[in-house]
Structure 1
Amino acid sequence: MGEYEEGGRNSTRMMEFILKGFPGSPYLQILFFMLFLIMYILTILGNVAIIILVITNRRLHTPMYFFLCNLSFLEIWYTTTAIPKTLSLFLGKSRSISFTGCILQMYFVFAFGCTEYFLLSVMAYDRYLAICFPLHYSTIMNISLSAKLAVISWLCGFLAITIPAFLISRLSFCGPNVINHFVCNIDAWIVLSCTDTYVIEMAAFVISVIVILGSCAITLLSYIYIISTILRIPSWKGQQKAFSTCSSHLAVVIIWYGSTIFLFVKPSKRTSLEMTKIVSILNNIVTPLLNPFIYTLRNKEVKEALKNSLHWRTKK
């Protein structure tokens, strides 16, 4: 680590940090390792299966499943940015992570998280068009618009965290270098810094609010119109069929927003880091694991495509 004078006192540029991970006996660490490893493998397999299923089935070559492919691809990388290092912590491997590695991990975790907000709001808009304007849906939500919305979601997600990441990279440290987390987290960095972090805290808070409230507004408005349209359908079967087309997405939205609002919208570094770790498990591991199962178990088209694929492979 290097030292330099700043405002009449010594400040330090940390060259590496120590990830504290989870406390517990060696046996508990092995148990955690097995649990996290199983969830990680299932997450990768589940999301890869959805991508392959959508690509190989012509019936699923629609904007809705194009966005689902984007979401599954995102989930694979979102969980991969955090879990491999966490698994090494459970095995008692090196807990150290370089300054650059920590910045990159934090950047990608939050970038993928922001991208998921935008993708879910785009998917809500897609369901709004499909249910509220069924006759014009195919002309409005064409291949060109679908691709543009997906690209915009990815760009906005990766640009949103750029300013906080840059500001955090300029922080100075003059104390311990132990991060009380299993990933490099903004709050943990702020707690360790010995310089004024007000600007970073406010920048992260404002951007988080803009990302969450902006995507939430689009999603909420879309579902208000969707529900009002469904309620005007005269038959119960018609209502059930219309709702089934967006029930999987709605379930994912509820789980995702519930687990991430706490993580992103916190105006103070005094928020409990232990609570942040617990919520991060749900956010980084459980949510990406549940998404493919929600879409396969609650979506009739995906289940039929999966049955057809399995039947075709069996016959072959």
Structure 2
Amino acid sequence: MEPANHTAVSEFLLLGLTEDPALQPLIFNLFLSMYLVTILGNLLIILAVSSDSHLHTPMYFFLSALSFNDICLSSSTIPKMLVNIQRQDQTITYTGCLAQACSVILFVVLENFLLAMMAYDRYVAICYPLRYTAIMNPRLCILMVLLSAFISTMDSLFHTLMVLRLSFCSDIEIPQFFCELAQVLKLSCTQTLIDNILIYVASFLFLGVPLFGIIFSYVHIVSSVLRMPSSGGKQKAFSTCGSHLCVVSLFYGTGLGVYISSSVTDSPRKIAVASVMYSVVPQMMNPFIYSLRNKDVKEALRKLMGRMASFL
């Protein structure tokens, strides 16, 4: 690129999911509904766990952290999209775009760590039940979450700071409904080879390693369960892992779907629609998965609803 084609970018354009004005009200109502369901569902999970002493265990502590993270991840992308549709304005400031990209990376990476921690919790509970209380003590659980949050924050800040050294061309259109780091890099006139290499390395470390930990945990869980002599014990063990397995399958399955769709199609709009599946849908579905498949959570929610009704 010639230097004349470089520009001091002050804002980007988020093209969203469609350019058809007739579909904008439908998209607005749909995403507003999904956002409200996500916030309400995850907030109810947090309130139910905090209000019921029977749920003050490591598994539900991690579940509360996951619900809070899901609220933050959804709040990083959807509100700006709704504001843009309402104002009929596709712009986002340069600073706002970097902040959004940083937030999305932070909460996606943290989601991976939290799912890995929940898998490890089930691994200890099933494979080492007599030592479970000693191993999964409150201090360790809090330390694991804080360390994961710190690593996620450092990773997101590192990638964001790398973007600051880039210059951008006159094309400032992002074919997404939020500022995705990969899409921002494509707009740069500067060589981004180092950035892309760092993204792959970070993905292996902070996405691949937690996934390997989840697989490792469940390989040992299945092995231990199959050695149980009682069929009732096997059923109980698998039931405690059912909700988590559904959440893991949904999160990684949708993420894999986005990766595959971006590989087989050149349509930015189709990729944008596919990205909804990992950035919006899992965060909305997680509360339903845990509340419908977990009798302890259902009972805590029933008690919470009863107390809330008594105050009205």
Mapped to 2, the partners of 1:313 and 1:84 lie a distance apart of 28
CA displacement, residues 7-34 of structure 1 (integer Å, 9 cap, x when unaligned) = 8655322011111112243331111111
Mapped to 2, the partners of 1:267 and 1:44 lie a distance apart of 29
- 1:239 corresponds in structure 2 to 234
Q: Percent identity?
A: 40
- 1:97 corresponds in structure 2 to 92
> Counterpart amino acid of 1:47?
N
**Match among 142, 155, 178 for residue 137 of structure 2:** 142
- 1:217 corresponds in structure 2 to 212
* TM superposition shift of 1:233: 1.5
Mapped to 1, the partners of 2:127 and 2:284 lie a distance apart of 31
**Greater helix content:** 2
* TM superposition shift of 1:156: 1.5
Preserved contact between residue 15 and residue 173 of structure 2 (Cα < 8 Å) = yes
Q: Does 1:254 align with 2:249?
A: yes
Secondary structure of residue in 2 paired with 1:246: helix
Preserved contact between residue 78 and residue 108 of structure 1 (Cα < 8 Å) = yes
**Match among 275, 278, 283 for residue 280 of structure 1:** 275
Mapped to 1, the partners of 2:107 and 2:96 lie a distance apart of 16
TM (normalized to structure 1)?
0.91
CA displacement, residues 33-82 of structure 1 (integer Å, 9 cap, x when unaligned) = 11111110000000000000011000000011111110001100100010
Preserved contact between residue 10 and residue 94 of structure 2 (Cα < 8 Å) = yes
* TM superposition shift of 1:266: 11
Preserved contact between residue 255 and residue 278 of structure 2 (Cα < 8 Å) = yes
Mapped to 2, the partners of 1:240 and 1:134 lie a distance apart of 16
- 1:202 corresponds in structure 2 to 197
Mapped to 1, the partners of 2:38 and 2:196 lie a distance apart of 32
Mapped to 1, the partners of 2:295 and 2:170 lie a distance apart of 56
Q: Does 1:66 align with 2:61?
A: yes
Mapped to 2, the partners of 1:265 and 1:190 lie a distance apart of 20
* Change over 3 Å in CA distance of 1:10–1:139 after alignment to 2: same
Mapped to 2, the partners of 1:58 and 1:72 lie a distance apart of 18
Matched ranges for 1:25-104 at <5 A? 25-104=20-99
Preserved contact between residue 58 and residue 138 of structure 2 (Cα < 8 Å) = yes
* TM superposition shift of 1:161: 2.5
> Counterpart amino acid of 1:199?
I
Structure number with the bigger relative contact order (C-alpha 8 A, sep ≥ 6) is 2
Preserved contact between residue 19 and residue 95 of structure 1 (Cα < 8 Å) = yes
* Change over 3 Å in CA distance of 1:266–1:14 after alignment to 2: farther
Secondary structure of residue in 2 paired with 1:46: helix
> Counterpart amino acid of 1:194?
C
- 2:127 corresponds in structure 1 to 132
Mapped to 2, the partners of 1:137 and 1:51 lie a distance apart of 23
**Match among 99, 103, 107 for residue 108 of structure 1:** 103
RMSD (CA atoms) = 2.3
- 1:296 corresponds in structure 2 to 291
Structure 2: which 5+ residue stretches go unaligned? Answer: none
Relative to structure 2, which stretch is displaced further, 168-177 or 112-121?
A: 168-177
Preserved contact between residue 205 and residue 265 of structure 1 (Cα < 8 Å) = no
**Match among 168, 176, 181 for residue 176 of structure 2:** 181
> Counterpart amino acid of 2:291?
T
Relative to structure 2, which stretch is displaced further, 301-310 or 79-88?
A: 301-310
CA displacement, residues 156-184 of structure 1 (integer Å, 9 cap, x when unaligned) = 11122233211112111122111111101
> Counterpart amino acid of 1:151?
L
* Change over 3 Å in CA distance of 1:210–1:275 after alignment to 2: farther
Name the count of aligned residue pairs: 310
Mapped to 2, the partners of 1:206 and 1:186 lie a distance apart of 15
* TM superposition shift of 1:311: 4.2
* Change over 3 Å in CA distance of 1:26–1:264 after alignment to 2: closer
